[in-house]
Chain A
Amino acid sequence: MTTTPRSIVVLAGGLSHERDISLRSGRRVADSLQQHGINVVMRDPDATLIDYLVENRPDVIWPVLHGASGEDGSLKALLDFLGIPFVGSRSDATRLAWDKPTAKTLVSRAGVATPHSIAVTRDSFRELGASAVLGVIGGELQGSVVVKPGKGGSAQGVVLVDAHDDLPRAMVSAYTYSEVALVEQKITGTEIAVSIIDTGDGPVALPAIEIEPISGVYSFEARYTAGETRYYAPARISDEVAAKAAETAIAAHTALGLRHISRIDLIVDSAGTPWFLEASTMPGLTETSLFPLALEAAGHDVGWVYSALADAAALP
């Protein structure tokens, strides 16, 4: 391992729908790094950021940005151009993972199971007629479906649809966030999240965290209100299934070309098969987020891991 970077800029906030979550995650990362003796400056990416980075040239940048401003890959592309190392996946991988339908395709090609789904643009509905499109979707995806914005996180705009009649409203909700909506077959099973870290020696899966929201839906409120979701760490699955989930998560992480840190959301069906739902290239790192829980379950010191990830980013 190289020497610990002397200065780290944590980027948090931005203009995305997840600004609030990003600020909370960023503060947690900054605090943990500072407690580890590292000089940290926290910045909101704005019109002064690039001049600041050029002038101060931090050793490493940690973009703790959720949503479009951090996870669409553009900021990271700029950091590459500036030649400043950063924690997290490179811009192309970030962009692919951020687009849920694309991520599902790539992961599926790597042999990982992912729920049957369709990605539909808003324009398709306009051109082909909503009733006709909904009819095709309903014919193919029977039973409960999950409608998600094609891009986005924190369950914003996500709706579980049990009755086909509720599909139009769910589509409208998804399109409020994104021009593409993903309609995905609901898989019944155990919802788990597998966090991955790679501090330079290859991706390692942390213990799977099982998610059991009290309301039954892992909504925005269930994610960010302490007490509203029960977490099991490690998940209540057999060792064999846990190993399979870890393997699946690493396969997804690798197929998407991710690095340093990710969280892979899976659902394990009654046969013990883990299904890939989505990947987060910068998972939430708040008090109620799954990634810090997984670190704790693995017996890792959060500050040490965050510092080690910054070290890995600083490697040439």
Chain B
Amino acid sequence: MTTQGQSGGNNLDPWYDHYADRTAGLSASEVRALFAVASRPEVVSLAGGMPFVSALPKDRLDDTLDRVMRDRGPVALQYGSGQGDPKLREQILEVMALEGIRASADDIVVTTGSQHALELITKLFINPGDIVIAEGPSYVTAMVVFRSFQAQIEHADMDEFGLIPEALRTKIASLKAEGKSLKFLYTIPTFSNPAGVTLTWERRIEILEICRSEGILVLEDNPYGLLYFDAPPPHAMRSVDDEGVVYLGTFSKTLAPGFRVGWALAPHAIREKLILANEAAVLSPSSFSQLVISDYLATTDWKGQIDTFRGVYRDRRDALLQGLEDYLPDLSWTVPNGGFYVWLTLPDHLDSKAMLPRAVTELVAYTPGTAFYADGSGRNKIRLSFCYPTPDFIREGVRRLTKVINGELELLETFAGTGQLDVIRDDVKISSPPPNIN
């Protein structure tokens, strides 16, 4: 217990010495505080991955809510099964079938968003110091979960075709040579967060084979797979491997995140433990949310709604790509065929985290690249989300971002030759915005 009073001072937290070691990184963050401004309407936020729920059919959802409360109120308001509502689990099979997955409803565990499934799987498998291999870059909040269980995160490189099998093979070999305990590969193979890239079918097969031969479980996180813009992506990895893959799905992107309903599809033995872990954590996932989603799936053209989302997000992706083309033609970025994100590469010596205050001043927000690496990489990367702002706003956001980047380049150029910062090269200057921009 922390000493209080004059002699020992007061650290404002009497329990400071009692926290578990795994909380070591949980402190206030200047960057996080800066993001508070992103909630203001004046700010173009290209930071958060918030689905555009206004595109949902509100009248239909109103009907669904009324019907659930009228017809199944006592069930909706009661505890439910720790594994999840049986009817919803059957319906989830239909959703997954769109990505080539054939499974049994018995192997599905409904969770409080797929984020919770991620936590439960990590809890089941990770001892302090165990290794999780993740793409570099990888989903920031997955890494927060891994760290909270004291996992060591190791990245394997990816390119525009997703995780590179050879990089994975090399990483595994080097970790095994060090005697490390490798537990699972975490991957978002389709429209990845943050890079927006998709793993090719051939690589999926090769990576599954690598993991199978090395005895490494694959944790396939697939929140965006149905939100493709042009051709459908390759089928899920789980579609060809029902023993070595735990698949995570969610209704947060195809319906709404407010329901907090996701699921894990796991091999039988893992599923048994998942159910127990789920019960220990939440007793049962929300009955109300599950029944609402079940009714929605049964009474609404949900596939048509996903088409609507695809159209909305396609327009926004196009607006972002066009904005980048017009304002920042000298930079490079990924071109996603689905999902929510574009991964922008800045000139080598820019630090996207350090220039975030300037972005806030200019009323534009983005997520700095370092957030998506466990090892401090990604300083000159930015994740741009196109899911929430309107196309016009996205374009305005890119215009403001250009001002931020140019301001930072000018500043670094001012200090070039002073030792630490003499790194500016003529070839990284950004073109001025075209004159015909509104």
Contact = CB atoms under 8 A, between A and B. Distances in A.
B419 A212 contact: no
Interface in B111-125: none
Contact of B28 (A125, A210, A221, A230): A221
A232 interface: yes
Contacts of B10: 230-233, 293
B30 interface: yes
A46 B40 contact: yes
Given A17-B357, A172-B411, A221-B27, A130 B418 contact: yes
Contact of A229 (B11, B40, B355, B418): B11
Contact of A130 (B16, B28, B363, B415): B415
Interface centre among B12, B43, B358, by most chain A C-beta atoms within 10 angstroms, is B12
Contacts of B415: 125, 130, 168, 171-172
A220 B30 contact: yes
A125 B13 CA distance: 44
B33 A220 contact: yes
Contacts of B13: 226-227
A225 interface: yes
Nearest to B31: A220
15 contacts: A15-B42, A15-B363, A16-B37, A17-B37, A17-B357, A19-B40, A130-B415, A130-B417, A168-B420, A169-B420, A171-B415, A221-B27, A221-B28, A226-B12, A227-B13
A19 B36 contact: yes
B34 interface: yes
A132 to B, nearest CB: 10
A168 B10 CA distance: 36
Given A131-B417, A166-B420, A21 B33 contact: yes
A231 B414 contact: no
Contacts of A223: 28
A182 B237 CA distance: 56
B270 interface: no
A105 interface: no
B420 A122 contact: no
B36 A20 contact: yes
Interface in B131-159: none
Given A166-B420, A232-B6, A173 B30 contact: no
A4 interface: no
A18 B36 CA distance: 8
A225 B28 contact: yes
Interface in A217-254: 219-221, 223-234, 236
B88 interface: no
A293 B357 CA distance: 29
B78 interface: no
A60 interface: no
A134 B421 CA distance: 13
Interface residues of B, number: 41
A231 B12 CA distance: 8
B304 interface: no
Nearest to B28: A224
Contact of A288 (B8, B12, B35, B411): B12
A145 B210 CA distance: 54
Nearest to A135: B418
Given A134-B418, A168-B419, A175 B411 contact: yes
B419 A225 contact: no
Contacts of B436: none
A172 B412 contact: yes
B360 A17 contact: yes
Interface centre among B36, B420, B421, by most chain A C-beta atoms within 10 angstroms, is B36
Contact of B37 (A19, A172, A232): A19
Given A122-B411, A220-B30, A228-B27, 12 more contacts: A19-B36, A44-B40, A130-B415, A154-B30, A172-B411, A176-B358, A177-B357, A224-B33, A226-B11, A226-B12, A227-B2, A233-B10
Interface string A149-186: 00000101100000001111101110111000000000
Nearest to B360: A17
Interface residues of A, number: 53
Interface in B338-393: 354-355, 357-358, 360-361, 363
Given A220-B28, A220-B30, A212 B9 contact: yes
A172 B357 contact: no
Contact of A230 (B9, B34, B419): B9
A193 interface: no
A156 B354 contact: no
A269 interface: no
Nearest to B17: A227
Contacts of B27: 221, 225, 228
B54 interface: no
B213 interface: no
Given A157-B357, A172-B415, A17 B16 contact: no
A19 B40 CA distance: 10
Interface centre among A13, A156, A176, by most chain B C-beta atoms within 10 angstroms, is A176
Contacts of A165: 419-420
A140 interface: no
Nearest to B421: A168
B29 interface: yes
Given A134-B418, A212-B9, A231-B10, A18 B357 contact: no
A301 interface: no
A307 B420 CA distance: 51
A130 B414 contact: yes
Contacts of A125: 414-415
Closest 4 CB pairs of A and B: A20-B36, A227-B16, A224-B28, A227-B13
Given A15-B37, A15-B42, A156-B30, A287 B421 contact: no
Interface in A71-120: none
B23 to A, nearest CB: 10
B40 A15 contact: yes
Interface centre among B33, B361, B408, B411, by most chain A C-beta atoms within 10 angstroms, is B33
A23 interface: yes
B417 A231 contact: no
